[in-house]
Amino acid sequence: MIPREFEYHAPKSVQDALGLLAQLGDEAKLLAGGHSLLPMMKMRFAQPGHLIDLGRIAELKGIREENGTIRVGAMTTENELIWSKLLQDKCPLLVEGARLISDPQVRYKGTIGGDISHGDPGNDHPALMLALGASFVLRSAAGERVVPADGFFVGTYDTLMKPDEIMTEIRIPVPAPGTGYCYAKLKRKVGDFATAAAAVTLRIRGGAVQDVAIALTNVGPTPLKARAAEDSLRGKPLSDASIVAAAGLAMNICDPAADQRGDAEYKTAMAGEMTQRALHTARERAGR
Amino acid sequence: MATKQAVSFKLNGKAVDVVVEPRELLIHTLRERLQHTGPHIGCETTHCGACTVDLDGMSVKSCTVLTVQCQDSEMLTIEGFEQGGALHALQESFHEQHGLQCGFCTPGMITRAYRLLKENPNPSEEEIRYWMAGNLCRCTGYQNIVKAVQHAAKKLAAAAA
Amino acid sequence: MAASTDTLERESKLQGLGSSRLRKEDARFIRGRGTYVDDIKLPGMLFGAMVRSPYAHARIKSIDKSKALAVPGVVAVLTADDLKPVKLHWMPTLGGDVQAVLADKKVCFQMQEVAMVIAGDRYSAADGAELVEVDYEELPAIVDPHKSMTPDAPIIREDIADKDNVGHGPRTHPNHIFTWEAGDKAGVDATFAGAEVTVREEILNPRVHPCPLETCGCVASFDKPTGQLTVYLTSQAPHLVRTVVAMLSGIPESKIRIVGGDIGGGFGNKVPVYPGYVVAIVASIVTGVPIKWIESRIDNISTTGFARDYHGVGELAADKDGRIKALRFTALADHGAFNSHVSATKLPAGLFSICTGSYAIPKAYARVDAVYTNKAPGGVAYRCSLRVTEAVYLIERMIDVLAQKLGLDKAEIRRRNFVKAEQFPYTTALGWTLDSGNYHGALDKVLKAVDYDGLRKEQAEKRARGELMGIGISTFTEIVGAGPTKVCDILGIGLFDSCDIRVNPTGSAIARLGTMSQGQGHATTYAQIIATELGLSSDEIQIEEGDTDKAPYGAGTWGSRSTPVGGAAAAMAARKIRAKAQKIAAHLLEVGEGDLEWEVDRFKVKGNPSQAKTMKDIAMAAHTSNLPDGMEKGLDATEYYDPPNMTFPFGAYVCVVDIDRHTGEPKVRRFYALDDCGTRINPMIIEGQIHGGLTEAFAVAFGQAIPFDENGNHLGNSLMDYFLPTAVETPHWETDHTVTPSPHHPIGAKGVAESPHVGGIPCFSNAVVDAFAHLGVTHMDMPHTSYRVWQQCKALGLNER
């Protein structure tokens, strides 16, 4: 449980970090909170020659609202999300999700940007980002681009982020007042990844679903956006029956890998169950 | 061999300088170089919390922190709790409420509870269980640990009043 | 006559028996000043890292050390071939078998020890271990013990293939270890044939691991000039380890010192002697410098000291009223690749024959067949006496199965079968003499406390609504305190224990015992026993254990034997001192011994209480010239206590569980535990032990298992998968007690720490099964994870909305 040797770099600015990334190429890995990468290095599953620690870059921290968008610095930790008054008031789904991630100590170190860019379908932020319609700011020496969460997750540990890019910011459109939300997560114990989880945002106007987003954690090679389930609910009143039907559609897109948490059948069923629960809770929380 | 780096930080109020390989884990620096053997190694996979130390106001598992990441930081370990011969309220309370048995998880538990009470001076049982869930104990079943943290909260409140 | 205020005050000042005295151990632990083995640092110390097999069964064709030896800091790489010249490549196990210290030509389980890299620190050792190149030829592995003895099964242990006996009777197959049986088979068969009702169930106790928070490890230090070997070691039984090391190494036992130090939990994991210890010792002998070996958590779960893996079949025969007439329990025991099962020599299946439980069962037969598989060796007692959890689990599950078959209430069927209070001492059909008990009283107290009738009513209402609520009962009897040397020995050494007390002139004392605390609080509780016996303050009685150079010989702490055996030794040694003190007091007071009576802390002259000598006075006198003629100076005594019988703690537990039929999540809503451990030494510590034991029972029942694939690869050996509950998952515990002293123990105490584990596991399982009982379910194997419980829901169509 000892990592192999590597060189360590602690740039003070994104610019310096990008410079190092360009110079060191494939040999380098970005170190955010380290609670996914360092364990993999200790198991010697990952063996980068260089670590570029983003922990000293002040510009990557912080949560603020600007013109209807919440901007979260990529190196903002889970506990900072949980304790953010702004998020509690305007984006409680992110707070609810962060509270269900790992354990207190990990939440002091684990960052939203690290969680997203790792590309692990077991991580919770990807589905939350899909449900919130977030987008990610990726910067390289060549410049900056903003990519939507939807489409960002390409495969297991594989995202649209290029090796010369750093995720600097997460942008979340402030959910409209009255948006119902829920992150329903089934896990074996504190510290575990989800057996299955569902993130939902829901707007109801005039008795019908105005908009809904459903995203699933850890039931496929990537987080999954349950489009057919969303489509089945839009424009119609939300009933117990339509929730069951939507959950069925969500289950159709699941393709989980069997492990000690359960086989594919169970995980798929739990994705449906979590979808139902998240929709029910979101309905209770939604303004009419 | 990778380039060794000089790292300076404050450990329990005292300035410390070490020269380490980048891969050296904080728990090993504390235990092997600095003779602070209070924090323990229980799992090495960031699950058990026996290695918990307080780093710049955060409870962290020092088996998953590189020492080189700690430049200029302030660190508190169990060795820093007793001040001028007086035990910290948490140390007293763990003793008085029988919140420990084999003692292996205790330094991590107390260190974690310290930060919890800084953030929430009067936690409910449910809050204590939730915010202490990064620390495993195999002996006590946690019930007396919860009592100990609540007891310490009362002591600290009384002392502040 | 009521005790005077003065007497009571003096008594309470002693903080003796029955006092919830705060723990003496805590002072160092709360300051982070414990001395666990990994805290030991000796000058020149090197660090060992183990190279382990990736395969469950393979031949080793070659080992290439060259790349590892080239790593800066690496000093040596040891393999079986290096240990051969000193004949230390194999070692005896505590189960009568031998075990490869480092794999000799083949590996028999995944993660088996193949080589140790010795280096200057753990970083270079890890680098070296990664670079040891081992060429393997993979062989077919046996994972399912039911397939171990098929005619075409691969032979796991070629080293003993032609032996017809490995310590416990004839073998019938190269993968067979032993068959053990007890009881009247013919009589049982006849009763079953004529019985009004019989029930049968296949019941698994899955492979689990005790997983103390501290892993195993040692620092071995051989001093070449003196030939002295000192080993700091995580051992629950340091004296036994010293004997094994002496037998192995040829070093005189007098030149071996084993130091237990502080131990970060044991729970059975730290009883055996492991290859890592032996290689570290050899490495120290070879290099002449101290060697530290500390296992990782993954190594710990994968290789040292698994527990259980008993594949049982339970059968009961009864009359229509639910009175049990006969019991037939068998088990197929998976012992892994080497039989390092911790067992007394004459008891290869441990104390499995306690399986008649708390019930008066006229006829019983038990049989255990042990086999080799390509899994790690072990078979330790995980917070229980040897194989007691397995036995109690079977009877406590089977009595529920019988109740269901007959439509009887699960509390009522227990009442009908309990050994009655007036029947004690009661000898069971399998030969154990239960020392004392009041089973009816305990169960009735618990049922009243939880409003059992109200719970059953609530359950009926919930069932009508399609909800799943289960009520589990466990009325267990434990067997602890191994044990009488005529029955119990390990490697020929009887399982007595010892206490050596020395009283100082000023009336303080030091006591040393052969047991070894791993968190139980011995330094606190032994002092309380001695305080009450001697009338000296427990605060002035120092307790030492675990250093074989200091403590008298004893078999250590496991199987809840510290109080029944070590505690008895402490009381008896103290009584020897008090007997001498009485003689001194009589001499000082110029009266006959018979004219004196003992009161709290002094001998006083009957009828003239102002004439008295306190134990402190006597302690000083014992070191002066003013002693009876011919009496030796000093006030010391040693006791080697050989218990006349085991002790039999018991309890009655009730658990209420709600099950989410859509996710399968079981939620323990309530757990009420009444324990009777006889005389209670320190109620605070007892309660703490019960909290801990219940939590470990909860972990076993609801999540712990060591899973393998069909090739013998581990599927979950880190704390990601292996379930150690956090404060969030752990239920709240309610505790209660009755007191039925042991008639044969000097202070009537029985031992307690294992009861909650042994009695808790079936209680949880009974609750989970009870939730489905109305639907015809009679048994569900552990662990009751959400996934597995959901599968049960699904099989019954309950998961649908």
Question: What DSSP line would sit under C202-227, residue for residue?
Answer: EEEEEEE----SS--EEEEEEETTTT
pLDDT of residue C801: 81
Interchain contact, C31 vs B134, CB within 8 Å: no
The C-alpha of B51 sits at a distance from chain A's nearest C-alpha, in angstroms, of: 11
What is A180-285's CATH topology? Enolase-like; domain 1 (3.30.390)
Cβ-based neighbours of B1, under 8 Å, separated by 6 or more:
A5, B21, C72
- H helices of B40-124, in order, are 89-96, 106-119
pLDDT of residue C3: 63
In chain A, the N- to C-terminal Cα span, in Å, equals: 54
User: Which of helix, strand or coil describes residue A188?
Assistant: coil
Residue A239 has pLDDT above 60, yes or no: yes
* Whether domain B5-80 has CATH 3.10.20.30: yes
Task: Report the CATH number of the A61-173 domain.
Answer: 3.30.465.10
User: Which pLDDT band holds residue C316 (cuts at 50, 70, 90)?
Assistant: very high
Asked if this assembly's ipTM is beyond 0.90, the reply is yes
Domain B89-160, architecture per CATH: Orthogonal Bundle (1.10)
| A39 and chain C in contact, CB less than 8 A | no
What is the chain A residue with the closest CA to C124?
A: A2
**Chain B CB contacts of A5 below 8 Å:** 1-2, 21-23
**Chain C CB contacts of A192 below 8 Å:** 720
The predicted model gives C156-172 an average pLDDT of 93
C754 is known as an active-site residue: yes
pLDDT of residue B129: 98
**Token reading at B39:** 């924090």
Asked whether residue C614 falls in the same domain as residue C703, the answer is no
User: Which of helix, strand or coil describes residue C199?
Assistant: strand
| A62 and chain B in contact, CB less than 8 A | no
A79-99, pLDDT tens digit by residue? 999 999 999 999 999 999 999
Mutate to test the interface with B, among C31, C127, C694, C704 (most CBs of B within 10 A): C31
- Tell me the C-alpha distance between C659 and C467, whole Å: 8
The C-alpha of A236 sits at a distance from chain B's nearest C-alpha, in angstroms, of: 39
Report the CATH number that the domain containing residue C237 is assigned in CATH. Answer: 3.90.1170.50
DSSP, res A221: S
**How buried is C710 (Cβ within 10 angstroms: 0-12 exposed, 13-18 middle, 19+ buried)?**
exposed
Stated pTM of the model: 0.98
Contacts of A among chains (3+ CB pairs under 8 A): B, C
Residue that finishes a domain, picked among C595, C616, C641: C641
Residue A236 has pLDDT above 70, yes or no: yes
Q: What is the DSSP string of C591-624?
A: S-GGGEEEETTEEEETTEEEEEEEHHHHHHHTTS
Alpha carbon C380 to chain centroid, angstroms: 7
A257-278, pLDDT tens digit by residue? 999 999 999 999 999 999 999 9
The C-alpha of C199 sits at a distance from chain B's nearest C-alpha, in angstroms, of: 36
The predicted model gives C531-549 an average pLDDT of 97
Q: Considering CB atoms only, which of C32, C265, C520 is closest to B138?
A: C265
What sign for the dihedral angle of Cα C604, C607, C610, C611?
A: negative
Asked whether residue C589 falls in the same domain as residue C690, the answer is no
Residue that finishes a domain, picked among C641, C667, C688: C641
Asked whether residue C667 falls in the same domain as residue C564, the answer is no
- Tell me the C-alpha distance between A120 and A136, whole Å: 16
Instruction: Say if C438 falls within a structural domain.
Output: yes
**Token reading at B47:** 């699950």
Instruction: Say if C208 falls within a structural domain.
Output: no
Asked whether residue C97 falls in the same domain as residue C241, the answer is yes
Range of the domain at C725: 306-482+645-795
Residue C277 has pLDDT above 70, yes or no: yes
| A79 and chain C in contact, CB less than 8 A | no
- Tell me the C-alpha distance between A200 and A277, whole Å: 10
Residue A288 has pLDDT above 90, yes or no: no
Asked whether residue C693 falls in the same domain as residue C739, the answer is yes
What is the chain B residue with the closest CA to A11?
A: B69
User: Which pLDDT band holds residue C785 (cuts at 50, 70, 90)?
Assistant: very high
- Helices and strands (H, E) in chain A, number of each type: 11, 14
- Interface A–B counts its CB contacts (< 8 A) at 86
| C215 and chain B in contact, CB less than 8 A | yes
**Token reading at A217:** 């954690």
**Chain C CB contacts of A266 below 8 Å:** 664, 787, 790-791
Report the CATH number that the domain containing residue C502 is assigned in CATH. Answer: 3.30.365.10
Mean pLDDT rounded to a whole number for chain C: 96
Closest residue by Cα to residue C763 from C675, C647, C662, C686: C675
Residue C63 has pLDDT above 90, yes or no: yes
Cβ-based neighbours of C492, under 8 Å, separated by 6 or more:
C345
Interchain contact, C32 vs B77, CB within 8 Å: yes
Interchain contact, A1 vs C296, CB within 8 Å: yes
Interchain contact, B23 vs A6, CB within 8 Å: yes
Mutate to test the interface with B, among A103, A111, A188 (most CBs of B within 10 A): A103
**Token reading at C316:** 């009961």
The C-alpha of B3 sits at a distance from chain A's nearest C-alpha, in angstroms, of: 7
Percentage of chain B surpassing pLDDT 70? 99
Catalytic residue among C52, C383, C578, C661: C383
Q: Beta C74-79 vs C113-119: how paired, if at all?
A: antiparallel
Q: Which residues pair with B130 in a beta bridge?
A: none
User: Which pLDDT band holds residue C1 (cuts at 50, 70, 90)?
Assistant: very low
The domain segmentation of chain B, as residue ranges, is 5-80, 89-160
Asked whether residue C449 falls in the same domain as residue C311, the answer is yes
Asked whether residue C506 falls in the same domain as residue C584, the answer is yes
Interchain contact, B134 vs A104, CB within 8 Å: yes
Alpha carbon C520 to chain centroid, angstroms: 12
Residues 731-770 of C with CB under 8 A from B: 732-733
| C718 and chain B in contact, CB less than 8 A | yes
Percentage of chain C surpassing pLDDT 70? 100
Mean pLDDT rounded to a whole number for chain A: 97
Instruction: Say if C196 falls within a structural domain.
Output: no
Cβ(B82)–Cβ(B19) under 8 Å?
no
Same topology between domain A7-51 and domain A180-285? no
Interchain contact, B137 vs C685, CB within 8 Å: no
| A106 and chain B in contact, CB less than 8 A | yes
Closest residue by Cα to residue C336 from C382, C374, C386, C390: C374
**Chain A CB contacts of B134 below 8 Å:** 102-106, 190-191
Cβ-based neighbours of A171, under 8 Å, separated by 6 or more:
A69, A70, A71, A72, A134, A135, A136, A137, A146
Catalytic residue among C211, C384, C655, C763: C384
The domain segmentation of chain A, as residue ranges, is 7-51, 61-173, 180-285
Closest residue by Cα to residue A198 from A276, A120, A287: A276
Instruction: Say if C178 falls within a structural domain.
Output: no
CA within 13 Å, CB half, A170: 30
Q: What is the DSSP string of C354-408?
A: GTTTTB--SEEEEEEEEE--SS--EEE-SSSSTTHHHHHHHHHHHHHHHHHHHT-
pLDDT of residue C400: 98
Residue B2 has pLDDT above 90, yes or no: no
Q: Which CATH number fits domain A7-51: 3.30.43.10, 3.50.50.60, 3.30.230.70, 2.60.40.10?
A: 3.30.43.10
Cβ(C513)–Cβ(C552) under 8 Å?
yes
Mutate to test the interface with B, among A105, A111, A189 (most CBs of B within 10 A): A105
User: Which of helix, strand or coil describes residue C764?
Assistant: helix
Residue C255 has pLDDT above 60, yes or no: yes
Percentage of chain C surpassing pLDDT 90? 95
Instruction: Say if C190 falls within a structural domain.
Output: no
Alpha carbon C586 to chain centroid, angstroms: 45
Asked whether residue C436 falls in the same domain as residue C338, the answer is yes
- Tell me the C-alpha distance between A211 and A132, whole Å: 11
Cβ-based neighbours of C519, under 8 Å, separated by 6 or more:
B101, B102, B103, B139, C263, C264, C265, C266
**How buried is C421 (Cβ within 10 angstroms: 0-12 exposed, 13-18 middle, 19+ buried)?**
middle
Interchain contact, C123 vs A191, CB within 8 Å: no
Mutate to test the interface with B, among C39, C46, C121, C213 (most CBs of B within 10 A): C213
Asked whether residue C546 falls in the same domain as residue C446, the answer is no
**Chain C CB contacts of A190 below 8 Å:** 726, 728-729
**Chain B CB contacts of C211 below 8 Å:** 138
Q: Considering CB atoms only, which of A1, A5, A189 is closest to C723?
A: A189
User: Which pLDDT band holds residue C4 (cuts at 50, 70, 90)?
Assistant: confident
Residue C2 has pLDDT above 90, yes or no: no
Contacts of C among chains (3+ CB pairs under 8 A): A, B
Residue C190 has pLDDT above 60, yes or no: yes
Asked whether residue C557 falls in the same domain as residue C668, the answer is no
Cβ(A138)–Cβ(A167) under 8 Å?
yes
Alpha carbon C461 to chain centroid, angstroms: 41
| A34 and chain B in contact, CB less than 8 A | yes
pLDDT of residue C491: 85
Catalytic residue among C754, C763, C788, C793: C754
pLDDT of residue C753: 94
Cβ(C683)–Cβ(C20) under 8 Å?
yes
pLDDT of residue B1: 65
Contacts of B among chains (3+ CB pairs under 8 A): A, C
- Tell me the C-alpha distance between A192 and B133, whole Å: 12
User: Which pLDDT band holds residue C167 (cuts at 50, 70, 90)?
Assistant: confident
| B120 and chain A in contact, CB less than 8 A | no
B99-126, pLDDT tens digit by residue? 999 999 999 999 999 999 999 999 999 9
pLDDT of residue C634: 97
User: Which pLDDT band holds residue C341 (cuts at 50, 70, 90)?
Assistant: confident
C418-451, pLDDT tens digit by residue? 999 999 999 999 999 999 999 999 999 999 999 9
Asked whether residue C677 falls in the same domain as residue C575, the answer is no
Q: Which residues pair with C475 in a beta bridge?
A: C652
What is the chain A residue with the closest CA to C726?
A: A190
Residue C66 has pLDDT above 70, yes or no: yes
Percentage of chain A surpassing pLDDT 90? 98
Residues 189-228 of A with CB under 8 A from B: 190-191
Domain count of the fold of chain C: 3
Interchain contact, B102 vs C264, CB within 8 Å: yes
C383 is known as an active-site residue: yes
Q: Considering CB atoms only, which of C32, C726, C730 is closest to B38?
A: C32
Asked whether residue C287 falls in the same domain as residue C410, the answer is no
Tell me how far CA of residue C118 lies from CA of A5, B28, C47, C50, C280, in angstroms. 19, 18, 6, 9, 9
Catalytic residue among C15, C236, C520, C582: C236
| A27 and chain B in contact, CB less than 8 A | no
